[in-house]
Amino acid sequence: GLLNADASVMPILIFLADHKAETLRAVTDATKAFAALQVSPKAKFLLASGNAGVMAATNEVVAAAERPILLWVFGAVIALCLITFRSLRASLCIVLPLAIVSYMAYALMVFLGIGLKTSTLPVVALGVGIGVDYGIYIFARLQSALNAGQYFEDAMFSAFKDAGAAVVFTGLTLAIGVSTWLFSNLKFQADMGLLLTFMFLVNMVGAIMLLPAMARWFWRHHTGHTAPPFPIRKA
């Protein structure tokens, strides 16, 4: 039953201990290396059938699509921030915290042994797409206050007073909602719930803590339209 009628095709069966990405990658790499050494025109190795073969092919497609997806997502976010705020400094203040949190999400995946697959591939992109809202809420109010002539510290205080509670409430609401996926019996759903909870919470923290610090550095010479000899904060 392992041959066709003219004996021109014969499957080679490999029994695996598990279907982890590392296992599949090791098997496919070894098979490709062995096939490359076979120069006989009478034999040709084709990869691969069965569940493991489909999963290995899926993993290869996911790995190839990861970087282009992130480049397109961050490119779109940067372009829209430039159009909205007309400032490279503003765009960097919003995007750089997102990039830092994205790398932290990949580090978390490595630490917890969560592989890159079809269910986890869109998580970082989704986290960036939603997380950028936090930075936009804060920076829109900050820019408005700066344009009105407030000192940076007063402008930042006004931004937090107007949008800070909304950012924290939105982040907590989203994180609590997706955190219920952690209790799912489906591993892919539990993995997505964990990663999305992390992205929503840490992106919110980044907008509250990293964005103001970066904005203060970019606008370190800003002292308002009329600067008194010492800082004044109105009650």
Average pLDDT over residues 113-122: 78
- Return d(Cα 206, Cα 8) in angstroms, integer: 60
pLDDT (tens digit per residue) in 2-22: 677 777 777 788 888 887 777
- Give yes or no for a contact between 208 and 156, defined as CB atoms under 8 angstroms apart: no
Least confident of 47-56, 177-186, 193-202, 204-213: 47-56
- CATH label of the domain that carries residue 95: 1.20.1640.10
Asked if 105 and 214 sit in the same domain, the reply is: yes
Percent of the chain, pLDDT > 90? 26
Q: What domain range is 101 assigned to?
A: 66-218
- Cα 123 to the chain's mean position, in Å? 6
**Three-state secondary-structure class, residue 119:** coil
Confidence of residue 232 (pLDDT cuts 50, 70, 90): very low
Residues 6+ apart with CB under 8 A from 153: 231, 233
Asked if 44 and 79 sit in the same domain, the reply is: no
Q: Please report whether residue 61 resides in a domain.
A: no
First to last CA, the chain: 86
